[in-house]
Amino acid sequence: MKEAGEGKEESRASGVITVVTGMIEDLDSTMPAPVQGVDVLISEWMGYCLLFESMLPSVLHARDRWLKPGGAILPDTAHMVSDVATSIVW
């Protein structure tokens, strides 16, 4: 996120780009005022293997509290692939 904040001057985006870093649970106290909502939430919500340390409940809270209608949560998809292997001794 630090790099995103540093690169905003070189971007072609118009308007105001504000990068807020920190834990979702702390956004109420760290969000610059006055903010009505955000256009994009970027979070590492999946944990490892899409199963452990999931931050999904926190991201859903942030979505409901901060995300503007039509906004995006990134990443927004995940894929889990599994395979079965066996070893048969004859």
Task: Please list the active-site residues.
Answer: 44, 53
Tokens of 39: 């256009």
